[in-house]
Structure 1
C-alpha cells in the first residue's frame, strides 16, 4: 500500500492555473447587467426605505403624543388631588370668617 504523495510544484501550479481558469470562465459566462432591471430594483429599494422612514417618524410621533397625554393626565390628577384636599385656613382667614359671622348676626338682630 502506498502512502500519501505530496504534490510537487508543477502539480500545485497546474491546479492553481486550472482554478483560476475555471473562475474566469464563470465570470465570463455571467450575463450582462440589465440596466432597466437594475433601475427597477433600485426604485423598489428606495421606496422600501422611504416607507420605513415614514413608519419610524410615525412611531416617534405616536410615542411623543403618548408621552404628552401621560403628562396631561398626571397634571390633571394632581390638580384633582389638590382640589379634593380640604383647605387649611390661616389664623387671619379664620379671624376674618369669625368677624363676618359676627357682623351678619348683628345685622340680623338690628
Structure 2
C-alpha cells in the first residue's frame, strides 16, 4: 500500500482526468470514407487468409491421397513379387529332391 505522502492529491487527480477527457473529446471524428476503406481492406485480408487456409487444406488432402495411392501400389507390388503358392505335390517333389541331394552328398 502506498503511503499517504506518495499519493496524488485529489485536485491533481481530477485535473489529470479532466485533461485526458478533454484530449479525447477534442479528437476529430473518423472520416466515414476512411472507415469504409479500412473495413474493405480488412475484408480483403480476411478473404485472402481464408483462401490461403483452404489451399493449404487442399494441399494436405492431396498429399494424403498421394501417400495412400503409393502405399496401395507398394502393397500391390509386394503381392505381385510374392512367390506363388505351391501345391502339395510340388512341395513333396521339392522335399524329395532336397532329400535325394543330401543323400547324394553323404555317399561321396
Same fold (TM over 0.5): yes
Give the CA deviation at 1:7.
7.5
| Greater than 6 Å deviation, 4+ residue runs | none
Normalised to the residue count of structure 1, the TM-score between the two structures is: 0.71
Structure 2: gaps (5+ residues): 91-108
Structure 1: gaps (5+ residues): 95-110
User: Aligned partners of 2:73 and 2:15: how far apart in 1?
Assistant: 80
Give the CA deviation at 1:91.
2.5
Normalised to the residue count of structure 2, the TM-score between the two structures is: 0.72
Q: Out of 12, 27, 50, which is 1:15 matched to?
A: 12
Give the CA deviation at 1:36.
0.7
Asked if residue 73 in structure 1 is aligned to residue 70 in structure 2, the reply is: yes
Structure 1 residues 47-58: aligned runs within 5 Å: 47-58=44-55
Count of aligned pairs between the two proteins = 87
The aligned counterpart of 1:34 is 31
Give the CA deviation at 1:90.
2.7
The aligned counterpart of 1:25 is 22
The aligned counterpart of 1:86 is 83
